[in-house]
Structure 1
Amino acid sequence: MTRCQVPAVLIHQIEEELDKEEEEMMVFLCRDLAPDLATADLRELLLALNEREKLSFLGLCELLYRVKRFDLLRRILKTEKAAVEANLARSVSLVPDYRALMVEMNENLEKEEVGSLAFLLRDYAPRMKMAKDKSFLALVIDLEKLNLVGPDQLDLIESCFRNIHRIDLTRKIQKYKREALMSSVHSQPVYVNALQASLPNLSLIDPPYNSGIQNTHRLKLQNGQSLIPAEPVHMSIQESGPVSQKVDQYRMQSQPLGICLIIDCIGNDADMLEETFRDLGYDVRCHRYLNTNATVQTLLEVARLQKHRNCDSFICVLVSRGSPQSIFCTDHTFSGFPLEQIKKYFTADSCPELLGKPKLFFIQSYIVPENEQECTSLLEVDGNDEKNIANAKPPCKVTIPQEADIFWSQCKVDASTLEKSGTSSSYYLRCLAELLRNPHKRRLSILDIHTELNRRVYEWNQTADPSQQYSLLLQHTLRKKLFLSPT
């Protein structure tokens, strides 16, 4: 007898709680897992997947998460939305990204809009059955049968969304395409032949960048053959002398540019920061009101993400009460966690995927007076998580210092600021967001942006009460110019 991974009683309890639309979404999500059961109902499908050992407890959690039944996650499966998200970030998903995207689209469409889509699709599939009350997912299935839509075939749906003025949904499709393209590119092996090995040593981590004039000439070989470089070599022309390569900028071309981790333990700035860095092209992971243990675990989980390998940078924003050297998060014991340790989680020895890439930290510390802090020891991380990260093997022949490529901006202000205006955002973070949103300022290097940030904070302090004045510290080990925009 085949071993089942999920008790049948759980499947029964969940099925009883779902409405018809939610059942349709679940069946659609599982469509690729059992193609021979395309017409089965939800119970038959889940039982079959269970018997074939394709459905695990985590997979069942993911399905409920995808249809946004977080109440059933908690009540029946005894888990939380955050736990499912953390598992999805570090393990392989049961549901293909394409199917998850289509379900997300389905939830964002009104009935009238689905009718408009069905009407537009008559031009492409005139004989397709267009029932009046057909759902978007049913339309997608019909288009899949005609080979007009698929994981790598979304131009038709994108065009239809554009015609009904759902630009937000066209952007979601475009983002999916970019991520799929990046995934396929990075999955290809890189081969270096003897000829390429004889060329100048160009780092794979930091390839040459556009500095004005692109060199598209072929490189002539001694035997008369020519080689077109896999990456265009960009050159700058000096006033005199030979042409030389300019490699003094960090590569910022990946999509997304990187992961941006935001931990706001105060709660006044998260929305503003999330919007700012998402608009810049970052994959934003936002957390609010974490205690110290949760903060440390979140940092460790993000440091382990393999996604860093395909990204060109990393950003971490922390907002918390604390001392000049540590953060307290939402804990009232003021045990604190050292800021220096946070930086170490993302250095090259701890996070090899970020070797040679810029790592930016923006810290807003609301300083609690020493007489209000409890004298307790610093937090100790449970288990071997920290040790395992520190012992991760970096790539061979590392020539970049482990502490390189770090940009550390820390702003300190008295915690009494929060008591006087508990809902106001940090002036430091507000100015940072304004500068990064300004299309003209955004063209500046990060050091020039921070200089402007210094000026604004200094002007604020000129008229502010001493207890409301901000102290700004910048430390960095950047080796090149950094622009927070594709270069």
Structure 2
Amino acid sequence: MSRHSGNNATLLQIEEELETEDRDMILFACREVTCQTNIRELLSEINGMGCQGIAEVLYLVKRFDLLKKYLKMTKTEAEQLIKKQRRIISEYSYLMVDINGQLDEEDLQSLVFLLKPQLRNAGHIGKTFLCFLTDLEKNNLISPENLDLLEQSFQTIHRIDLKNKIRKYKQKDSIPVQESSSFIQAEANDDRYPVKANPMGFCLIIDCVGNDSEMLGSLFRGMNFVVNIQMYTTIQDVKKILQDIANMEQHRHYSIFICILISRGDTDSLFFTDGNSSGFLLENIRNLFTGMSCPNLVGKPKLFFIQNYLTDNCEIGQGGGLVEADGSPCSETGQGRRQSYVNMPNEADIFWSHHKTSERQLQRLSGSPSLYLKTLNDLLSKELKRKYQDILEIHTELNRILCSKQMGCPVLLKHTLTKKLFIYPV
């Protein structure tokens, strides 16, 4: 274990020494990377995101004493580590936590008085700046991309120093002049999904096999996705995880949602760690992210990649394909017949890639990554490919490679994308 991360005993000691204000700032700043609202569980999850995770949250709240005491790091060492690694916390959160520390009680009251009339349900307003900020976000009055109202408000209450901080942030986050014409052209053509760089999107990985999550987590963090990895989960746990993530307000700040599921299962459901249960229907998983269920992802591409290790109840044939063709019923001993495909809903912007292989592959190639996911990883690792090929072209190449390496191509691809998707910021 890296000296920059901590075990559970260390995390517990850190938690006990955090002040209430420290906890509030950490919970606010980490909203974009975790659904946890319990500080202990949040620290544990952040600790698993990278060697600098705990160091970064302690640096954020200026608890340099805890950095030194528990991680054996100086402030300068923490700065260097955070610069070398990709930040977990966004520039926006750094800015707001910084402002929170410089705004006194009188200024906060003036700010609330000024903006309260614009809030719906303004009877209960948080007592701190960060709570008030959350209310403003929920009312769509501010966002990381739109801080005009806050900038004007700081001007009105004569906090020019804070106004200038926001202006500096906006200038830093703006589109470089040399890129603006191509951006405008892309917007004018309206033939591709808009993708921003920081962060690009949210990636959920649920791995109940254990061979691929580290590889994929590294890939998507490197592509500037917020990554959440869940290992060896039960069906009940998966339902809660998916529902919590579907309800995340942070999706408003992301361009893409990616969900990767790795589990044993049958042709239309996954078992996760529940053995040969009735399983969790894939259709029900996807339906949690439709416009009705997840309004913050409306109009945004939602990509699902499923590695399904089929049990003997519905096996891969000798030729590598399904015993019966995909889209037709699949026989199961002693049970009628079940549909071996998942109907696409009347819902736009979904990309559904489902690879099926025999569970016996796990015994034959113990510890090896899925060929499907390894190939996907290799293709997406190539920056120029992501820049000049949309996801359908990349997936076509994935199919070609799989078909050349195995007999048959048991990959189901269905999508309702309405534009080209380049997993690369415009």
User: How many pairs align?
Assistant: 305
Cα deviation 1:74-109 (Å, max 9, x = unaligned): xxxxxxx79x99xxxxxxxxx999328868865786
Call closer, same or farther: CA 1:323–1:309 in 2, change over 3 Å: same
Instruction: Provide the secondary structure at the position in 2 that maps to 1:186.
Output: coil
Other-structure match for 1:241: none
Q: Which has the larger radius of gyration?
A: 1
Other-structure match for 1:427: 371
Call closer, same or farther: CA 1:358–1:31 in 2, change over 3 Å: closer
Distance 2:269 2:197 in 1: 33
Cα deviation 1:299-348 (Å, max 9, x = unaligned): 11111111111111100000111111111111123211111111110011
Call closer, same or farther: CA 1:249–1:275 in 2, change over 3 Å: same
2:61 to 49, 74, 99: 99
Question: Which of structures 1 and 2 has the larger relative contact order (alpha carbons within 8 angstroms, sep 6+)?
Answer: 2
Letter in 1 for 2:370: S
Residue 256 of structure 2 corresponds to residue 328 of structure 1: no
Letter in 1 for 2:143: H
Counterparts in 2 of 1:95-244, with a 5 A limit? 98-99=60-61, 106=68, 110=72, 114=74, 136=75, 166-169=80-83, 171=85, 175-180=89-94, 186=143, 214=180, 234-235=184-185
Cα deviation 1:130-161 (Å, max 9, x = unaligned): xxxxxx5xxxxxxxxxxxxxxxxxxxx6xx76
Other-structure match for 2:29: none
Other-structure match for 1:5: none
Call closer, same or farther: CA 1:428–1:311 in 2, change over 3 Å: same
Q: TM-score, length-normalised on structure 2? A: 0.60
Instruction: Provide the secondary structure at the position in 2 that maps to 1:424.
Output: coil
Other-structure match for 1:62: 39
Other-structure match for 2:380: 436
Distance 1:375 1:291 in 2: 26
Distance 2:292 2:66 in 1: 38
> If each structure's helix is expressed as a fraction of its own residues, which one has the higher value?
2
Residue 426 of structure 2 corresponds to residue 482 of structure 1: no
**Residue 362 of structure 1: how far off its partner (Å):** 0.3
Residue 278 of structure 2 corresponds to residue 341 of structure 1: no
Distance 2:206 2:88 in 1: 28
Whether contact under 8 Å (1:333, 1:374) holds in the other structure is no
Distance 1:96 1:256 in 2: 21
Instruction: Provide the secondary structure at the position in 2 that maps to 1:261.
Output: strand
Letter in 2 for 1:62: I
Structure 2 unaligned residues grouped into runs of 5+: 1-7, 25-35, 49-56, 97-132, 150-174, 316-331, 336-344
Counterparts in 2 of 1:264-413, with a 5 A limit? 264-370=207-313, 403-413=347-357
Q: How large is the Cα RMSD of the aligned pairs?
A: 4.2
Which range is displaced more, 309-318 or 330-339? 330-339
Distance 1:107 1:458 in 2: 55
**Residue 458 of structure 1: how far off its partner (Å):** 0.9
**Residue 31 of structure 1: how far off its partner (Å):** 5.7
Letter in 1 for 2:214: D
Whether contact under 8 Å (1:319, 1:363) holds in the other structure is yes
Counterparts in 2 of 1:38-49, with a 5 A limit? none
Cα deviation 1:41-63 (Å, max 9, x = unaligned): xxxxxxxxxxxxxxxxx99x626
